[in-house]
Amino acid sequence: MMKFEIVSKDPGCNARAGRIETARGAVDTPVFMPVGTVGSVKSISPDELEFLGAKIILANTYHLYLRPGDQRVARLGGLHKFMGWDRPILTDSGGFQVFSLARINKIEEEGVRFRSHIDGSSHLLTPEAAVGIQMNLGADIMMCFDECTPYPVSYEYASESVRRTIRWAQRSKDAAAGCGAALFGIVQGSVFEDLRDMCLEKMAGIGFDGYAIGSLSVGESKEQMLHVMNRLAPRLPGSAPRYVMGVGTPEDLVEGVRAGVDMFDCVMPTRNARNGTLFTSRGPLHIKNSTYAEDPGPPDPDCGCYTCRRFSRAYLRHLYICRELLSYRLNTLHNLHYYLGLMAQMRAAIGAGRFEQWRAGFYAQMESSDEKRAGE
């Protein structure tokens, strides 16, 4: 079973550093989990992930259930063996994808009936089924099946959705009993404070190995997202890992850590890499811009990743404009190196009791962006 301990707390805010112990290794927190949707972090190998310092990745229950099938993965030895990754894996419950990708879905008390976005086939995903799929995959950390509330949403619907999510959480826990994997509950409630508080109270009452904040970055404003995260994160049970799902930008991660969040995942570093945006210590760099056509400098002068040590902005722009596959690989290697390095910096700052000073320096350096100055 998973164990979690808090190693240090920053005296100036809610930031904390900890360690998650699993049968497949330890994970130091705060941590960013690269997203391996179908059992692969797009464009790079498991060995490269290990070289970058990734200790845990996220895989997608919905996608792996539809293709190649969780039972097939189980017959082939589980997801770790299937994809060649021997470190911890967290699997989501598939709830977000059912509501965002399914061609048609119908919510019932039993679960959600939906049609596959791949071939239109009909399926029923219940809390018990979602847990069973994650068990077949061999996840180290599983998520309860929940309803990802859209935005905007009425208070009445959000209230009904939260209560359904709580009932599904209890069913998820019952289904996971004795399986050996950790199970996290998800706090829903959209932007409504009383619904978030009620959901948190009920989730804590059921009791989980960790707690997540769901339905953020689904259409609400940045101010609303930060308000929910800053208000709710410190209220999550302090003895368990705190996880904000699907968030986000480097600034979001910094603010989440400051609020007391331990775990993050997001497709942003990999998706943006494929779209020609590199995250750097001085802010985002849009490599497709013509201004870099003859720029001999590295993407980030302060970065020691393979991409920055070997290649120029001009070359990376050339690859991107030509749609060369190497563009996606090099950009992804850089972005994940940046995200994972950012988390390491924050862990060190918390350990030294200097997170607020580090945070001030982070934003000051962001303001020195060449692109930001050029736009002024």
- DSSP code, position 336: H
The domain spans of the chain are 3-266, 275-375
d(CA 374, CA 376): 6
Contact 64, 73 (CB under 8 A): yes
pLDDT for position 102: 73
Helix or strand run (H / E) with residue 6: strand 3-9
Strand partners, 284: 279
Cis-peptide, bond into residue 68, ω within 30° of zero = yes
Nearest CA to 236 among 196, 194, 265? Answer: 196
What percent of the chain is predicted at pLDDT more than 90? 93
pLDDT for position 376: 38
Query: Which residues, 6+ apart, have CB-to-CB distance to 73 below 8 Å?
Result: 39, 64, 79, 82, 136, 137, 138
Is residue 371's pLDDT more than 90? Answer: no
Q: Is 8 helix (H, G, I), strand (E, B) or coil?
A: strand
Q: Are strands 263-265 and 242-244 parallel, antiparallel or unpaired?
A: parallel
d(CA 354, CA 12): 8
The pTM assigned to this predicted structure is: 0.97
Q: What is the largest CA-CA distance in the chain?
A: 60
Residue type at position 122: S
Residue type at position 304: G
Task: For 288-329, write each residue's pLDDT tens digit.
Answer: 999 999 999 999 999 999 999 999 999 999 999 999 999 999
Q: What is the mean pLDDT of the chain?
A: 96
Contact 134, 92 (CB under 8 A): no
Dihedral sign (CA 85, 88, 94, 96): negative
pLDDT for position 218: 93
d(CA 166, CA 99): 17
Helix or strand run (H / E) with residue 358: helix 355-366
CATH superfamily of 3-266: Queuine tRNA-ribosyltransferase-like (3.20.20.105)
Contact 331, 287 (CB under 8 A): yes
Task: For 47-81, write each residue's pLDDT tens digit.
Answer: 999 999 999 999 999 999 999 999 999 999 999 99
Q: Are strands 35-36 and 57-59 parallel, antiparallel or unpaired?
A: parallel
Mean pLDDT of 82-103: 91
Is residue 148's pLDDT more than 60? Answer: yes
How many CB atoms neighbour CB 315 within 10 A? 18
d(CA 125, CA 112): 5
- Residues carrying an active site annotation: 92, 265
Task: For 111-142, write each residue's pLDDT tens digit.
Answer: 999 999 999 999 999 999 999 999 999 999 99
